[in-house]
Structure 1
C-alpha cells in the first residue's frame, strides 16, 4: 500500500516546475558532437551499464534491442525491463518524488508524461546523434525527449484460415468472423482505446454493438492477439488491436484501412532521467536507436526524415488513414480518456486475467 507520506511527496513533485519564465528551458543544449565511438568509450568508463524501462506487454518484446545494442558495443550491458507504460510511469514518479532514481532511460507510450516530467525538471536534456533529421513533431525543441520509432495497429489475420482478410473495420462484422476475433481490452490500453474512439467516431455506436454481437475474445496486452491468431489452430483468426511490423511473415498478413476508417500510429518516445546513474550509457543508447542501422532493423516507420520506410510504404506522413500526431493530443486530455475508459468498462467489464507479462496464455 502506498503511504500517505509518499502520496504527499508525489503531489508536491507534480506541482513543482523547473521552468523559469525569464530563462525558459535549456534550449541552448547543443546536438551531440562526439562520434558514437567516443560516446561508447565514455559509457565504458562510466561502468558499461544502462538501465532502461520500455513500454510493452511481453517480457521479451525488446530482446532484439538488447541484443543489437550489446553486439554493437562489446562490454556494454543493457538491462531492459518491459511493462505496461501506465505502470512504468507511476514507478518513475515514485523514484523522482523520493530522490531515488535508478533508471537511466525510458521509452513509453504515455506521451503525456514527458511534458510533465520536463516541467518538473526530472529529465536530462540531450540531443542525440541524428537529432536534426528527426521529424520536428517527434522531438521536444529543447531536447528533453524525442521519438524512438513509430508504433501502429493494423488489421492482422492468419492466412491459413482467412483468404479474404479484413481491410475496413466493417469487415470484422462479417459472419465468418463470429467467435473468431481476439481483441485487447480498450479500457486497459490507451492506444487501443484511441483506436476504438477513432472507429466509433466514424462508424457510429451501432458498429460497436454489432462487434459485440460477434462475441470477440477480450484479452490483456496488445501482443496477445497476434500470439493467439498465430497459435490457436483457427479458434481466433483476426485482430485490429495488435502489430506485427510492416513486413509480415507466415502465417500472417496485414492491411490498413484504404477507403474508410483510421488506424492508430504514434512515435514511441524516449527520454533520459536527470538523475540517471549512467547518463553516458543512456546517451549511447539514444544515439544508437536513431542510427540508420537500427531504425531500419525495427521493420517499422522511422522517426528520421532521411531514412526510407520499408519497401512498398510511403512515409508515415503520407500514409493514408492515419495522423501520427493525434495520439499525443488524445493522451493529453486525461479527463476525456478516463470517461471513455469507463464507457468501455461499463459495456465489456473490467480487464480480466493476469497481466500478459505474467500470463503464459
Structure 2
C-alpha cells in the first residue's frame, strides 16, 4: 500500500512544479560534461570504501574521459562535513547520495541544492522525490536476514529465529545506536515482538559491530564462528539472505541531490541522468524508484511486510531518534570498534 507521506513533505517545501525535466540526451550532456572538465565528485553514504566501485567503473566505462571521484562514508559524517562546506561557502562536492533523508528538506530550505529534474524524473514515484527536483530517490535500499549456509543448513528468516538455541554466541549484529536505519529496524521489531524479544536477543550473547555491511561480510569468511545476522545489510556469494515475515523490515529510497554551487554541474547532471536511466535502473530485475519498470520487476509498494515511505517520518523526528538511541545505549553501551571503513571487512 502506498503511503500518503511523500519525500517532499508539503510542510517543509513548496509545491511549485518549477522547471521542466532535462530534454538533452545522455550523449549531449556527456559532451557538456567533457567541456566542463570531465570530473564529478560524489559523496555516497555507506560503510565500506569499495561499496560504490561498481558505480564508478560502470559510469566511467559508459562515458570515457569522465572521472567519477566517489567517497563512501557514513551518511551522518558526510552530512556534517557538507554542512561545513555550505556554511563556509566552499562547496567542492558536486553530488550527494545519502541515507539521511531528513537533511534534504533542510538543505533545500537553506538554498544549498540545485532544483534539477533529470530526464526520467517524471517516472520516479512521487513518494520519492521533491516536486521541484531538489532531491529524489535513485535506488531502494533495505535490510534482510543473512546466514552462512556452510555453517547452518536450514533457512533463517524471521526475527524470532534469532532466539534459536543453536544461535547462541553465533550471531553478529550492527549496533542500532550507531546507524539510524538499523535503529529503525530494531524499533520496528520491538514494537511488534516486544522488549522481551530484545532481552532474549541480548541473552543470546551476539557480537555487536559497527557498520551495516560488517555482519554480512563477516559471515562470508571461511573461518568465521558466526552463523547469522538480522536486520542489517551486506551481500556475498557465500551468504544466503531472506526477508523477515514476523515483523516489518526496513526499506527506503537512497536519495540523490546536486549541490547548487557544485563546481561541475554538468558532470553531476550526467551522473544523475545516468543513474535514473533505463540502462542503469533496468539492468536486472529488482526494486526500483521508477513507476514504469518492466513487468518482471518486483514492486516495492506491493511488498507486504515493509513500508518504503516510513523511514522519512522516522528520520524527521530527531527527538524520538535520540531517545531510542540512548535506550539502546543503556543496554548495549556505546558503539565500540574502529570505523567500518577501516575494518577490512
TM-score, length basis structure 2: 0.93
Q: Distance in 2 between matches of 1:195 and 1:323?
A: 12
Shift in CA distance, 95/250, structure 1 to aligned 2, threshold 3 Å: closer
Q: Distance in 1 between matches of 2:255 and 2:159?
A: 28
Choose from 226, 238, 243 the match for 1:251: 238
Choose from 92, 110, 115 the match for 1:120: 110
Tell me, yes or no, if the aligned pair for 1:161 and 1:234 is still in contact at 8 Å. no
Q: Does 1:200 align with 2:190?
A: yes
Aligned length: 335
Task: Note the alpha carbon deviations across 1:51-75, whole angstroms, 9 max, x for none.
Answer: 0000000000000000000000000
Mean Cα deviation higher: 182-191 or 224-233: 224-233
Q: 1:347: how far off?
A: 0.4
Tell me, yes or no, if the aligned pair for 2:286 and 2:298 is still in contact at 8 Å. no
Q: How does 1:1-361 map to 2 (within 5 A)?
A: 27-231=17-221, 233-244=223-234, 250-258=237-245, 260-297=246-283, 300-308=286-294, 314-361=298-345
Q: 1:243: how far off?
A: 2.8
Q: Distance in 2 between matches of 1:88 and 1:116?
A: 15
Q: 1:233: how far off?
A: 2.7
Q: Distance in 1 between matches of 2:283 and 2:341?
A: 24
**Alignment gaps of 5+ in structure 2:** 1-11
Task: Note the alpha carbon deviations across 1:17-64, whole angstroms, 9 max, x for none.
Answer: xxxx9x957632110011111111110010000000000000000000
Please name the residue that 1:3 is paired with: none
Q: Distance in 1 between matches of 2:182 and 2:36?
A: 40
Q: 1:195: how far off?
A: 0.2
Mean Cα deviation higher: 159-168 or 33-42: 159-168
Mean Cα deviation higher: 173-182 or 351-360: 351-360
Mean Cα deviation higher: 203-212 or 228-237: 228-237
**Alignment gaps of 5+ in structure 1:** 1-20
Q: Indicate the SS of the match to 1:324.
A: coil
Q: Kindly report the root-mean-square deviation, in angstroms, between the aligned alpha carbons of the 2 structures.
A: 1.9
Q: Indicate the SS of the match to 2:252.
A: strand
Q: Distance in 1 between matches of 2:285 and 2:56?
A: 16
Q: Indicate the SS of the match to 1:231.
A: coil
Q: Distance in 1 between matches of 2:294 and 2:166?
A: 38
Q: Indicate the SS of the match to 1:212.
A: helix
Tell me, yes or no, if the aligned pair for 1:153 and 1:243 is still in contact at 8 Å. yes
Tell me, yes or no, if the aligned pair for 1:225 and 1:241 is still in contact at 8 Å. no
